[in-house]
Structure 1
Amino acid sequence: MSAAVPNILTAARLVAVPIVVWLLLADGGADGPMRWWALGLFLAAAATDYLDGYLARRWGVVSSFGKLADPIADKVLILGGLACLVIVDGLPWWPLAVLVVREVGVTLGRLAVAADTVIAASMGGKVKTVLQLLALTLLMWPEGPAWFDTLGWWSLVAAVVVAVVTGIDYGRRIVAAARASRAPAAVTEADADAGS
C-alpha cells in the first residue's frame, strides 16, 4: 500500500485542479469565500507536490509513472490557476502563453522518449515551480496588501525567465535522449546489412 501513496497524492493533485478552477471562476474576482477556498485547496494541492516526492524517495518507491505524472500534475495546477487569474483579475496573458508553450513542448518531448528514457525534473525546473507557486499564492490571495500583487507579479516574471532557460535545457536533453535511443537501432540495421 505504501508504494502507491506517492502516486495517489499525485492523482489527488490532478483531481484538485478542476475544483480550484471552478471556485476561482465562480468567485469572479470578488475576493469572497470561494476565493479563500480556492486558495486553500491550491496550497494543499501544492503541498502534495513536496510530500509525494519525499515519500517516494524515503520509501524507495520512485516510479517511472511518478517521474512523469508528478511534473504534469504541477503544470496543470499552475497553468489552470494562472489562466483563471488572467480571466477574473485581468492579469496579462503573455506569461500564461509563454508557460503553456514551454510546458506543452517539454511534456510532449518527455512523452516522445518515455519508452526509453525518463527525463527527470532539473533543479532549474524546481526553482521555476517554487517561483510559480509563490506568484500564484500572492496573486490569488483575497484582498491582500498591494505589495502582494507587486511581489507576485515579479515572481511570475522571474518564473517565466527560468521557464524559458530550463525549457531550452530540457529540449537539449530530450534531443540527446532521442538520438541515443536511435543509435542502437542504427547499429543493428548496419549489422544486418553487413550479414546479408
Structure 2
Amino acid sequence: MSALPKPSNWNVANAFTALRLVAVPVFIVLLLHDDGQSDSWRIAATAAFAVAIITDRIDGELARRWGLITDLGKIADPIADKALVGSALICLSLIGELPWWVTVVVLFRELAITGVRFVVIRHGVMPASRGGKYKTTAQSVALLLYLAPLPDAFQPVAVVTMGVAVVLTVATGLDYVVQAVRLRRGSDRTRAKRATGRGVPPESHRAGQSSAA
C-alpha cells in the first residue's frame, strides 16, 4: 500500500496562520492609538486580538481534521502566536499597564524556545505540547483582560490570570528544553554520528564484510 502524499505547505490551515501574522501590525496600531487611552480604539484592538487568537484554534483544527499538518505549519504556528503575544506584552508595557519584568520573562522564554526549535530541527520537529497549549490559553485570557477597557474591579482578576500565565510560561519552557535534549539524543542523526565516532561501519559495509568472509 503506497504512502499518502505529504500535504502542500500552500493550504488553508497555513493561510490562517499567515493571516494571524498579518493581523499583528494592525493590532499594534489600534492599541497604541492615543497611547491606549481611547476606549473605542482599545475595544477595536481587543477585537483584533481576539480574532487573531480564534484563527489559531481554526488552523489547528483544520490541520488535524483535514490532514494538513506540515513541518512549515509546526514552525510558523508558534511563531505567529509569539508575534501576537509579544506585541501585546510590549505595547501594554509601553503604555504603563503591565510591568516590564513580565514582558521580559515571557518574551525571553518564547524567543529561547523558538531558538531551541531551530537548533534541533535537524533532528526533528518539536510540535506544541499540551502544556504549551494551556500556556497559550492562559496568556490569551490574561492579555484580553488587560487589553479590554474593563472596570477597575476586574484588575485583580487580570493580575492573577497573568500570574498563572507566567508560571505556565516558565514551566513549559523548561519542559521544551528537556524535550529538545531527548529529541537530539534519540535522533537518527545523533545515532549515526555516534556510530561513526566509534568507528562502526555502516550496515551495508558490515554486510559486505560478512559475505566476503
TM-score by length of 2: 0.85
Partner of 2:193: 185
Give, in angstroms, the shift of residue 146 of structure 1: 1.9
Give, in angstroms, the shift of residue 149 of structure 1: 2.1
Partner of 1:18: 25
1:156 aligns with 2:162: yes
- The one of 126, 134, 150 equivalent to 2:133 is 126
Partner of 1:32: 39
TM-score by length of 1: 0.92
Deviations 1:95-132 (A, max 9, x none): 11111111111110011112331111111111111111
Answer whether contact 2:28 2:91 (CA < 8 A) is retained. yes
* Matched-pair identity in %: 41
Q: Which residue type is aligned with residue 31 of structure 1?
A: S
Give, in angstroms, the shift of residue 22 of structure 1: 1.6
Q: Which residue type is aligned with residue 37 of structure 1?
A: A
Aligned residues: 194
Partner of 1:173: 179
Deviates more, 1:11-20 or 1:27-36: 27-36
Partner of 2:110: 103
Runs of 4 or more off by more than 6 Å in structure 1?
none
Answer whether contact 2:46 2:147 (CA < 8 A) is retained. yes
**Map of 1:129-148 to 2, 5 A cutoff?**
129-142=136-149, 144-148=150-154
Distance in 2 (alpha carbons) for counterparts of 1:41 and 1:21: 10
- The one of 3, 10, 14 equivalent to 1:7 is 14
Q: Which runs of 5+ in 2 are unaligned?
A: 1-7, 207-213
Q: Which runs of 5+ in 1 are unaligned?
A: none
Deviations 1:49-98 (A, max 9, x none): 00000001110111111111111111110111111111113321111111
Answer whether contact 1:13 1:48 (CA < 8 A) is retained. yes
Distance in 1 (alpha carbons) for counterparts of 2:73 and 2:9: 14
- Structure with higher Rg: it is 2
